[in-house]
Homo-oligomer: A and B are copies of this chain.
Amino acid sequence: MAPKAVVGRVSLYLRQLETFQRQGQTTISSSQLGAALAIHNAQVRKDLAFFGQFGYPGIGYRIEELIPALRRILGIDRDLPLALVGLGNLGRALLRYRGFRSRGFHIVALFDNDPQKVGRTHDGLVVEPIETMAKIVAARSVTLAVLSVPAEVAQRVADQMVACGILGIMNFAPIPLSVPPSVSVVAIDLSIQLEHLAYKVQNTQGGISYVG
């Protein structure tokens, strides 16, 4: 499996290639791709070489070939149905987050245990009680889920998700989850990001970091 930093850069390359494609470009060199992202061209070539041989001597990369190849590498070469568990403020904000849908992630199921929330409709989806998750997740072929419940219940809900066949959890609850080795978790710790911002400001070079 490629290191997280490499996979993060592949996501950036893919976005940048899509931009070039929209602008009508058909081929691209590692230098052009790197320049657009402030990444050294040797790094671009090394990152892509991790996954295969994509370039052509004297031509560079063919954009219409490289885009689907990178989408396949990331596992986003098809629509990925997503469950959202926890419809508090954060959950509702994530429901409206445009970046998911534009990258092929479609929220197809909503779960919460709060009687005030169960039964409500958001964007045509009814909030279901967590107890019904196994049936719904199977019926809608969901393997990925976003967990946005309070810290106190996060582990218990995660256990239920794993039991229902969820294989990947994006965890926004500010506690570490314990899951079996077959399940992947990406934990979003916003306070670490804020510490990094404080560090950058203190060291005043400025500049922009993408968390990816």
A: residues with CB less than 8 A from B are 1-2, 4-5, 7-8, 11-12, 73-76, 80, 82, 88-90, 92-94, 96-100, 102-103, 105, 143-144, 146, 151, 167-170, 174, 176-177, 179-212
Minimum CB–CB distance for A103 against chain B, Å: 4
CB pair B192 A11 closer than 8 Å: yes
CB pair B198 A74 closer than 8 Å: yes
Chain B residues positioned under 8 Å from A202 (CB to CB): 74-75
Q: Name which residue of chain B comes closest to A99, CB basis.
A: B191
Dominant secondary structure at the A interface? mixed
- Pick from B2, B144, B197: contact of A184, CB below 8 A: B197
CB pair B204 A182 closer than 8 Å: yes
In the assembled complex, the Cα of A7 lies from the Cα of B209 at a distance in Å of 12
Q: Name which residue of chain B comes closest to A201, CB basis.
A: B168
Q: Told that A7-B195, A11-B196, A185-B208 touch, could you supply 17 new A-B pairs with CB distance under 8 A?
A: A1-B205, A4-B209, A74-B199, A75-B199, A75-B202, A75-B203, A88-B93, A89-B90, A89-B96, A94-B190, A100-B194, A167-B201, A168-B198, A179-B208, A181-B207, A185-B197, A188-B188
Minimum CB–CB distance for A89 against chain B, Å: 4
CB pair A4 B205 closer than 8 Å: no
Chain B residues positioned under 8 Å from A211 (CB to CB): 186-189, 192-193, 211
- Pick from B144, B174, B193: contact of A197, CB below 8 A: B144
Q: Name which residue of chain B comes closest to A208, CB basis.
A: B185
Minimum CB–CB distance for A130 against chain B, Å: 20
Minimum CB–CB distance for A179 against chain B, Å: 7
Chain B residues positioned under 8 Å from A208 (CB to CB): 176-177, 179, 184-187
Chain B residues positioned under 8 Å from A204 (CB to CB): 167, 182, 184
Q: Which 8 residue pairs of A and B lie closest in terms of their CB atoms, listed nearest first?
A: A192-B212, A75-B202, A90-B93, A99-B191, A89-B93, A184-B200, A168-B201, A75-B198
CB pair B190 A100 closer than 8 Å: yes
Chain B residues positioned under 8 Å from A100 (CB to CB): 190-191, 194
